[in-house]
A = this chain, B = another copy of it.
Amino acid sequence: MAQKPSIPKGTRDFTPVEMARRNYIFDTIKDVFRLYGFSPIETPAMENLSTLMGKYGEEGDKLLFKILNSGDFLRDVDPALMTSENVTRLAAKLCEKGLRYDLTVPFARFVVMHRNDLQFPFKRYQIQPVWRADRPQKGRYREFYQCDADVVGSDSLLNEIELLEMIDEVFRRLKVRVTIKLNNRKVLAGIAELIGCPDKIINITVAIDKIDKIGLENVRAELLERGIPAEGVERLTPLLTLSGTTAERLSALRELLAGVEIGQKGIDELTEVIEGVEALGIECDLELDVSLARGLNYYTGTIIEVKARDVEIGSITGGGRYDNLTGVFGMPGISGVGISFGADRIYDVLNALDLYPAAVEESVKVMFTNLGKAEAAASLKAAKALRASGISAEVYPDAAKMKKQMSRANELHVPYVAIIGESELAEGKLTLKNMTTGEQSLIAIDELSSAVK
């Protein structure tokens, strides 16, 4: 009985054309990672739930995919637990393992487990899928790739400078125009201190993070609602309306935060990073944005977010510095800084702007037709010689109708078709058809590699 197959919602197959486009993005990112001295690692898809639980908040715990224990998974389960009211506790009994939710927690676990074999500062990149039991919607999947690069074991701001250069280089290569927004957690802490609410930093940043969406007046209203005194809101307002060049904004910010030590430290760091990047040269826009509060419960210094300038879409890359990545696993005091490229959104941006080089979709450089046994044998030989010089080739496997064979070459965007028929075979030649121009020429078989190079 045949079943009509499907795949789980929120997951995707990738066809050869999609793979070619995605690999173009991944290879670009990987090449930049490599050029900057980052080395790849991989961690297992499954982690112990004890590693994952409690790291992503209560909501995150619910979004973990849990793996049913093998064998008799009920053996040690108290029957009283087996009711709908107890599903959370029951799940913890039925499942020891879960699928990784991001690459950061597995990386922290990796650093702690391999601490004695690693050279610090340790510069790693990791490109692997992650899984979240989120409600699927446009642009949000239950399986998607993350592309992370992190440096751990160094608190030098030189790392921030190089990571920003890497972002610039990746998008320069991909031909995507972007704005890099920059902030520093210490500036946000300084603001909270300035207005006399150092414990309300989360409330403050949640509100000011919305300024692009809801406007200044609504942010002010929300700040009051969230318990910031009116005087504090007044003192904060000029910080939200900084204008001018980056240097001008930095200097205005320094003045507004005068006397607030942590705020001054944040401005020092921002200044060093921005001057460092400008000295090296950067093509994309670099923008100081005090309202940027991304991942605040996590970052302790620099905060980075990247927006595409020509497509309406959320942030396509982000990152920042965190001072206690591995503390939860018993290894305190390790500072790290990292960036994460959102491969799926970058893919959407490249699709929207049609930014793929034409060669990305070529499946094979030369297709040999198959016009019979002896002709195919000669084609196999010629294809082998071509491959030895690094050129991809295929021989149509069946002596099918010529029209069918040529149609395959068209559909697969094959740039050259090589035809060895009876007369070509007799002469040791082949007819080479350029599928772009339609030109045909008769050449010696051993001239083929130079003809298509």
Tell me if B397 and A11 are in contact (CB < 8 A).
Answer: no
Q: A162 to B387, alpha carbons, bound, how many Å?
A: 12
Min CB distance, A429 to chain B, in Å? 20
Task: State whether A44 and B330 are in contact (beta carbons under 8 Å apart), knowing that A37-B392, A156-B398, A397-B159 are contacts in the complex.
Answer: no
Min CB distance, A397 to chain B, in Å? 4
Question: Using an 8 Å CB-CB cutoff, how does the interface string of A33-75 with B read, 1 for contact, 0 for none?
Answer: 0111101111111111011000000000010011110111111
Tell me if B387 and A35 are in contact (CB < 8 A).
Answer: yes
Q: With CB as the reference atom, state the residue of chain B lying closest to A128.
A: B129
| Chain copies in complex | 2
Min CB distance, A245 to chain B, in Å? 22
Q: Which residues from 1 to 42 on chain A have a C-beta closer than 8 Å to any C-beta of chain B?
A: 2-8, 11-16, 19-20, 23, 34-37, 39-42
Q: Is the interface of A mostly helix, strand, loop or mixed?
A: mixed
A426 at the interface (CB under 8 A from B): no
A82 at the interface (CB under 8 A from B): yes
A323 at the interface (CB under 8 A from B): no
Specify which chain B residues have a CB less than 8 angstroms from the CB of A82 in the assembled complex.
Answer: 74, 79, 82
A217 at the interface (CB under 8 A from B): no
Q: Which residues from 363 to 398 on chain A have a C-beta closer than 8 Å to any C-beta of chain B?
A: 363-364, 367, 370, 376-377, 380-381, 384, 387, 390-395, 397-398
Q: With CB as the reference atom, state the residue of chain B lying closest to A376.
A: B158
A408 at the interface (CB under 8 A from B): yes
Q: With CB as the reference atom, state the residue of chain B lying closest to A408.
A: B119
Tell me if B74 and A83 are in contact (CB < 8 A).
Answer: yes
Q: Which one of B3, B99, B280 lies within 8 Å of A384 (CB-CB)?
A: B280
Min CB distance, A151 to chain B, in Å? 7
A112 at the interface (CB under 8 A from B): yes
A442 at the interface (CB under 8 A from B): no
| 8 cross-chain pairs, A with B, having the tightest CB-CB distances, nearest first | A37-B394, A2-B330, A16-B39, A11-B44, A37-B364, A156-B397, A35-B387, A70-B133
- In the assembled complex, 7 residue pairs joining A and B whose CB atoms fall closer than 8 Å, in A order, are A7-B44, A8-B44, A8-B96, A13-B113, A45-B99, A45-B131, A68-B91
- For the complex with contacts A7-B109, A19-B40, A162-B395, 16 further pairs of A-B residues with Cβ separation under 8 Å are A2-B328, A5-B51, A5-B330, A6-B51, A15-B41, A15-B117, A16-B39, A37-B364, A45-B131, A46-B65, A67-B67, A94-B94, A158-B397, A159-B397, A162-B380, A169-B387
